Amino acid sequence: MNKEEFKKEIAKIQVAYNKKFKQEEGRLWFKEFMNVDIKEFRKAVDKTIKELIFIPNVADVRARIAVNPNDYYIDEYAYLYKNLEWCEIIKGE
């Protein structure tokens, strides 16, 4: 996402919550979301505005992103677990 796309989306939050972000706040938000796809960010901002009464913080918006780039760990052995709640491992036959 580039700065112009970000400014357009962050303006939605500023208008919806009647709050003007300071320059430092804007930079912080941009650094947090610059690697996020604009479509995902747009959806997260719209969902956040619909769900929250008070002004959101970075974590509120990040929690609503469907594909989080920070969730890089995938358990490659998940198919071995019989019961995911107790993580019982199925032994090879």
Residues of the chain below pLDDT 50: 72, 93
First to last CA, the chain: 49
- For residue 78, the Cα-to-chain-centroid distance in whole angstroms is 24
Q: Which amino acid is at 15?
A: V
Residues 6+ apart with CB under 8 A from 91: none
Q: Helix, strand, coil shares of the chain as percentages rounded to 5?
A: 55, 5, 40
Q: How many CB atoms lie within 10 A of CB 10?
A: 19
pLDDT at position 1 is: 85
What is the pLDDT at residue 12?
A: 94
C-alpha 18/C-alpha 34 separation (Å) is 23
